[in-house]
Amino acid sequence: KYKSYPYERMQKVREQNISPSLRMYYKKPLLLHQGHMQWLFDYEGRRYLDLFAGIVTVSVGHCHPKVTMATQKQLARLWHTTNIYMHPSIQEYAEKLTSLLPDPLKVVYLTNSGSEANDLAMFMARLYTRNFDIISFRGAYHGGSPYTLGLTSIGLYKHGVANGFGCSTTMLPDVFRGPWGGSRCRDSPVQTVRKCSCSEGVCHANEQYIEQFKDTLNTSVPKTIAGFIAEPIQGVNGAVQYPRSFLKEAYQLVRERGGICISDEVQTGFGRTGSHFWGFQTHDVVPDIVTLAKGIGNGFPMAAVVTTKEIASSLAQNLHFNTFGGSPLACVVGAAVLDAIEEDGLQKNSEDVGTYMLLELAKLRDKFEVVGDVRGKGLMIGVEMVTDKDSRHPLPDEEINQIWEDCKDMGVLIGRGGLYSQTFRIKPPMCITKKDVDFAVEVFHTALQRHMEKAPAK
C-alpha cells in the first residue's frame, strides 16, 4: 500500500497544483503502482487487464524486459542531446525504422510527441508545396499544439481561440454513423449492421463520400493545396473506418491539386492493424509523409516524421532544431521496441488475437441492442454504444459510464472516444492473448447484462 502520500492529499494537490485541463478516467481514478506487459497493478495489489495501453502508447507491453534493459543500459552511459555530435544510436535507429518503410519514405526527423511530429509535417508540406491549405477529416485528432489544433476537429479539444489558419475539414467517410452506410465496404472482419446500397464489387457509399471530398476540394479551399492528413483508422474518434478504396482515391485527388498526403500513424503504426506493419498499407497507398508517436517508444516520449528526400530537403534551406528529439535514449528505446515487435511476433499476434476479439465482440453486438457497432482491424478496435441500432443515437453518458466503471471494477480497463464519448476504444498492448480476450469479453458481457437488467424498457 502507498502510505507516505495519502490519496486524499494527491487529490488535493491535483486540484491546486496541476492543470485542470488534464482530466482523469473513472469516478475514483486508479492509483497505479506497476505495469507488466498487458497488466497494470494498483497500490492495493489489484490487477487490471489494460485494454487501452496507456492511450495506445504501450505497444510491446508495459515495462517490456527488452526495452527496459536497453533503456537502463543507455541511461548509465549517455542521454543528453547528441544532435550536434555523432552517436551511433540515431543512425542505427534511422536505418532500422526506414527499412520497415517503403520507398521513397526514407528520411527521418525525430521529435518528442505526436503533436510536434504533425506540426512538423504541416510545416514541411507548406514549405515543399509552397501552398498553405491543409485538409483533415471531421472527428480527427492530430494534436493539441496551435498548428495541429487546426487539424483536430473534435469540439472537446477546441478552445475558442484563433488557431488553424489554412486548415479545412472535410466529411468523415464513416460507414456506421455517416449518411451512407456501407455494409460490405470496410476492411474489418466485422461489417456494419447498417444496410446500404453497395452491390457486388461496387461500393456506392465510397462513391458518395468521394463526391463530398471533391466538393471540399472544389468549393472550400484554393485550387492548389499543401496537403491532406488522415489516420488509416481514426483513433480518438473511436476506431472509425472508411470504405476500402476511399483513401486511395482521395490521395489521387489531393495530388492532382498539388498537395501531399500525410498518414498519421500515431495509433495505427507498428503492426497494430495486424495484416500490415503500417496502417496506410491496408489502404494500398504510399503517403508522402508519415508521422509516428505513442507506440514508437512503448510509452517513452518520442515521435518521428518520415518523408521523402525531396520533401525533407525543403527544411534544409535553414536550420530546424529539436533539443531532445533523437536523443541516444530515445533511439535506443525505439530500436528495442522494433526488435521486440519482431522477436515477439507482435504484428501477427495483433492480427490473430485482434480478429478473434472482433469476432467475439460481434457476438455481443448481436445479443445486445446497445452495442451498435463493432469495428476495427487487428488490435485497433471500437465498440460504439447506442440507444438502439435503428436510430444509432449515442447511448447516454451515465449509462455508458456505468458499463465502463463496472468493467474497471471487474479488472478490465477500456478507453473512451467518439464525438459523444460513445465508443469504447480497445487498443491493448500487442502482447495480449486469446485467454485475456476471453476474460475481457466475459467481463464486458457481465457489464452489459447488468446494464440491460437495470435499463428502463425501451
Number of residues that bind ligand PMP (CB under 6 A): 14
- By CB under 6 A, tell whether 141 contacts ligand PMP: yes
Q: Which is nearer to ligand PMP, 115 or 350 (CB)?
A: 115
Q: Which three cell numbers stand for residue 66?
A: 527488452
Site string for ligand PMP, 282-321 (x = CB under 6 A): -----------x----------------------------
Q: Give the binding range for ligand PMP (CB under 6 A) out of 79-87, 262-270, 338-346, 404-412.
A: 262-270
Of 422, 427, 344, the closest CA to residue 388 belongs to: 422
- By CB under 6 A, tell whether 142 contacts ligand PMP: yes
> Which residue shows C-alpha cell 488522415?
230
Q: Which is nearer to ligand PMP, 205 or 266 (CB)?
A: 266
Tell me the residue type at 279. G
Q: Give the binding range for ligand PMP (CB under 6 A) out of 24-32, 107-115, 237-245, 408-416.
A: 107-115
Distances in whole angstroms, Cα of residue 105 to Cα of each of 199, 212, 273 = 36, 29, 20
Nearest distance from C-beta of residue 237 to ligand PMP, angstroms = 9
Nearest distance from C-beta of residue 73 to ligand PMP, angstroms = 25
Q: Angle 418-250-253 (CA atoms, 0-180°, nearest 5)?
A: 145
Q: Phi, psi at residue 37, to the nearest 5°?
A: 50, -115
The contacts of residue 289 (CB under 8 Å, 6+ apart) are 105, 121, 124, 125, 227, 260, 261, 262, 263, 305, 306, 307, 311
The neighbour count for residue 48, using CB atoms within 10 Å, is 19
Site string for ligand PMP, 181-220 (x = CB under 6 A): ----------------------------------------
> Which residue shows C-alpha cell 495489489?
45
Q: Which is nearer to ligand PMP, 288 or 406 (CB)?
A: 288
Distances in whole angstroms, Cα of residue 13 to Cα of each of 10, 22, 142 = 5, 13, 30
Q: What DSSP assignment string belongs to 281-327?
A: GGGT---SEEEE-GGGGTTSS-EEEEE-HHHHHGGGGS----SSTT-
Nearest distance from C-beta of residue 115 to ligand PMP, angstroms = 3
- By CB under 6 A, tell whether 153 contacts ligand PMP: no
Tell me the residue type at 70. A
Site for ligand PMP in 336-375 (CB under 6 A): none
Q: Give the binding range for ligand PMP (CB under 6 A) out of 63-71, 141-149, 155-163, 337-345.
A: 141-149
Q: Which of 59, 71, 74, 113 binds ligand PMP (CB under 6 A)?
A: 113
- By CB under 6 A, tell whether 235 contacts ligand PMP: yes
β-strands 289-292, 32-36: how paired? Answer: unpaired
Site for ligand PMP in 214-233 (CB under 6 A): 231
Q: Give the binding range for ligand PMP (CB under 6 A) out of 20-28, 138-146, 241-249, 386-394.
A: 138-146
Q: Which three cell numbers stand for residue 125?
A: 508540406
Cβ-closest position to ligand PMP: 114
Tell me the residue type at 410. M
- By CB under 6 A, tell whether 114 contacts ligand PMP: yes
Nearest distance from C-beta of residue 93 to ligand PMP, angstroms = 18
In the complex, the residues that contact ligand PMP under the rule CB under 6 A are: 113-115, 118, 141-143, 231, 235-236, 264, 266-267, 293
